[in-house]
Amino acid sequence: EVMLTQSPDTLSLSPGERGTLSCRASQSVSRYLAWYQQKPGQAPRLLIYDASNRATGVPARFSGSGSGTDFTLTISRLEPEDFAVYYCQQRHISLSFGGGTKVEIK
């Protein structure tokens, strides 16, 4: 089983700031990694797939990078609607999620 470890647990930022979220895999998942955004009371939303491809309708301020075991989701300038919980997920070996990073307003 591939374990995904996300850091930090919570990221406190102000609107307009840059957010950098990390996801580390216990073994290589190549580039088979996605990022999701979840707001309270809503289902998750796919943001990024295959490490760096934005899903349909996702704003350009969201970008993903990485391969192997280390991945990053970057939000270039936080908008008020970006404060949420973010999860990474791999599909290289079975399927698994990371524990999530909460991006909160500072």
Partner 1 sequence: QVQLVESGGGVVQPGRSLRLSCAASRFTFSDYGLHWVRQAPGQGLEWVAAISYDGREKFYADSVKGRFTISRDNSENTLYLQMNSLRLEDTALYYCAKGHIVGATRAYFESWGHGSLVTVST
Q: How much is the CA Rg of the chain, to the nearest whole Å? A: 13
Find out whether 101 and 7 touch, Cβ atoms under 8 Å.
Answer: yes
Report the distance separating Cα 76 and Cα 65, nearest Å.
13
Find out whether 43 and 36 touch, Cβ atoms under 8 Å.
Answer: no
The CB-of-27 to partner 1 minimum distance in angstroms stands at 15
Cβ neighbours of residue 81 closer than 8 Å, sequence gap 6 or more: none
Mask for 32-61, x = binds partner 1 (CB under 8 A): --x-x-x----xxxx--x-----x------
Q: Does 91 bind partner 1 (CB under 8 A)?
A: yes
The CB-of-37 to partner 1 minimum distance in angstroms stands at 12
**Region near partner 1 per CB under 8 A, out of 16-24, 57-65, 70-78, 96-104:** 96-104
Nearer residue to partner 1 within complex by CB, 15 or 102: 102
Nearer residue to partner 1 within complex by CB, 11 or 89: 89
Nearer residue to partner 1 within complex by CB, 37 or 78: 37
| Residue 97 parent element (H or E) | strand 96-97
